Amino acid sequence: MEQPTTVTITGAGGQIGYALLFRIAAGEMLGPDRPVRLRLLEIPQGLTAAEGAALELQDCAFPLLDGVEITDDPVTGFDGANIAMLVGARPRGPGMERADLLAANAGIFGPQGAAIAAAAASDVRVVVVGNPANTNALIAAASAQGVPADRFSALTRLDHNRAVGQLAEMLDARADEIERMVIWGNHSATQFADVSSAAFRDVPVIDALAERLGGATEAVAWLDDTFLPRVAKRGAEIIEVRGSSSVASAANAALEHVRDEQRGTPWTSAAVVSRGEYGVPEGLVCSFPVTSDGSGYRVLEGIDLDERGRALFDRSVAELVSERDTVRALGVL
């Protein structure tokens, strides 16, 4: 058995935290050979909910669970962390402008980035789930002096999985028969869910859709009018139908993001710090097609985007630039 891996989860007393903790402790994220030590980082108001979850974790008697600690101090929370999952964030309140939201979250992710730099293990990897996830990750990375920027990522795996789910339903397929889906850009309504590289049983998805829907024109119309808006607005659809935001699917996506980064994957989508790939300004945390050999996500380069796809991607990148500029104007970066 390996040494325990320390996993810090912020906002662990919240809904996604509750859906995530038990699956991590059961070994679903890091595998059956890696014991885990859980650190639950909350704000004072969230501590009792985290304590309740910790009692239940104890009652599960998970063989891989090497301990649970709860704190509201970021430096204690990230002490020795190998993996940090930043879930807790400030939600948009009534009448709150986007700049206010970015500023409020900068007040969370700046200090957390600094605490990661001060206390986390030298191999720490960080994923930001709390929204606005891409720009929160940018702020955390910029505040974590001495920690390489490529250790930071943000979650777009839920968007990726939502897109795969929609395609699987339309093609009467299992999700694992859909390969090479790509989410480009921001985790927001401007994201671009791109099927142009995707395949279904080794047939281009676009051809499989044309066969299913009776022609290429019908396939393109379905993609533009139904698929793209549905994936981009799926969060709102879940709230409307369920009466509450996505929780289990978000926790599942966060778990798969870390699992694939740590254990390897040939292809998925994740928001990572741009090094200029696909012309995206350096330093932005942008969703790309990525691969991992177990040592971190790397952008898959050389994927063709047609003119229309490029325009959609550029629109989302422009939003990321504007978020970054807003945060810069606040003096955070």
| Residue ranges in 14-73 that form contacts with ligand NAX under rule CB under 6 A | 14-17, 41-43, 45-46, 49
- Is residue 187 among the annotated active site residues? yes
Check residue 108 for interaction with ligand NAX (CB under 6 A).
Answer: yes
Give the span between the Cα atoms of 295 and 311, in whole angstroms: 32
Residue among 39 and 180 whose Cβ is closer to ligand NAX: 39
Q: Where are the alpha helices (DSSP H) in 175-247?
A: 205-213, 216-222, 228-232, 234-242
Residue among 158 and 299 whose Cβ is closer to ligand NAX: 158
Give the span between the Cα atoms of 61 and 53, in whole angstroms: 13
Check residue 113 for interaction with ligand NAX (CB under 6 A).
Answer: no
Buried b (16+ CB within 10 A) or exposed e, 157-180: bbbbbbbbebbbebbebeeebbeb
Report in angstroms how near the CB of residue 172 gets to ligand NAX at its nearest.
27
**Binding window for ligand NAX (CB under 6 A); candidates: 62-70, 87-95, 214-222, 300-308:** 87-95
Check residue 110 for interaction with ligand NAX (CB under 6 A).
Answer: no
Closest by CA to 257, choosing from 112, 133, 145, is 133
Q: Which of 161, 166, 246, 316 binds ligand NAX (CB under 6 A)?
A: 246
C-beta of residue 187 within 8 angstroms of C-beta of residue 154? yes
Closest by CA to 321, choosing from 177, 166, 135, is 135
Q: Which of 10, 197, 265, 326 binds ligand NAX (CB under 6 A)?
A: 10
Q: Which two tokens stand for residue 206?
A: 């676009």
- For 148, list phi and psi in degrees, rounded to 5: -55, 140
Residue facing ligand NAX at closest CB distance? 14
Check residue 88 for interaction with ligand NAX (CB under 6 A).
Answer: yes
| Residue 90 three-state SS | coil
Q: Which of 199, 206, 247, 303 binds ligand NAX (CB under 6 A)?
A: 247
Give the span between the Cα atoms of 44 and 71, in whole angstroms: 9
Of the candidates 151, 187, 257, 259, the residue annotated as catalytic is: 187
Check residue 145 for interaction with ligand NAX (CB under 6 A).
Answer: no
**Binding window for ligand NAX (CB under 6 A); candidates: 11-19, 116-124, 141-149, 211-219:** 11-19
Give the span between the Cα atoms of 191 and 183, in whole angstroms: 7
Per CB under 6 A, residues contacting ligand NAX are 10-11, 13-17, 41-43, 45-46, 49, 87-89, 91, 108, 129-131, 133, 155, 158, 187, 245-247, 250
By annotation, the residues acting in catalysis are 187
